[in-house]
Structures are given as structure tokens and as C-alpha cells.
Amino acid sequence: MHDEALTRSSEHRRPISPEVHAVLDYTVAATFLGVAAWFAGRHRRAAALALANGVMVAVMSMLTDYPGGLLPVLSFRDHRNADVLQAALAGAGPMLFGFAGDREAAYFYAQAASEAGVVAATDWDAGAVWSARH
């Protein structure tokens, strides 16, 4: 009975593991920083928002107890909460920074939607398992 319950619960796990999530996070941080450089010469507010998001994701990643975390003071579940805040910043940022109608805003809206998908598809319970093994 116990094995059946374990099998059943593992069949319903979300597809993004802590390892994959870490790779996605560092990729998103690098992309935001690249976009900040790209926007810098033509749209200062979009560049500032991209820089803020890039730094936020990079620092969060470095502080998370998951693969690639350098100073793991945030649990994987706490990281989830920060991901939700980052998605909100990306999605609301163009309005807050005063460029919601500009074409540069589309990048942030797309990233916020992507981040919401990653949050929904991540197996947040696997973080405790990873942490216990490492």
C-alpha cells in the first residue's frame, strides 16, 4: 500500500525539477541583463526595468537552496514566492515605469507570462528532497 501511494504521488509531480528550474533562472537572469544592454541606447526605462529584473533573478538564484545556489539561505519554496513577485514586477513594470504602451513593454509581458508558466510547472516539493540529499 505504501509503495502504491508513493508511485501515485510521483506520477502527478510537476515536470520542472529544482535542477531544471535553476538552469531556467540563470538563463532568464542572463537574458534580462542582455535585454537591458540592448534597450540601454534606445529606451532607458525599459533598460532599467530589465536590469532590475535581471539582478533580482540572479541574486535570488544565488541565494536559493538548489543546484547552482551559492549562498543557500532561501528555501526552494521561498524562492517560489520570490518568483511570483518577479513575475508581477515584469508584468506591471511597464505601467509602473511609464512605458506600458511602448513596443518594449511586450518583452516584459511575455516574460511575466512565461514565469507564471514556470511557477505552475515546477515541482516545489522536490526542493526539500534535493536539499535533504545535499
Question: What is the pTM (predicted TM-score) of this model?
Answer: 0.86
**Domain positions in the chain:** 18-133
The grid cell for 79 is: 524562492
Per-residue pLDDT of 92-107, as tens digits, reads 999 999 999 999 999 9
pLDDT of residue 1: 46
Q: Which helix (H) or strand (E) holds 58?
A: helix 44-62
- List, for residues 40-77, the tens digit of each pLDDT value: 999 999 999 999 999 999 999 999 999 999 999 999 99
Inter-residue contact 94 to 100 (CB < 8 Å): yes
Contact status, residue 99 vs residue 45, Cβ threshold 8 Å: yes
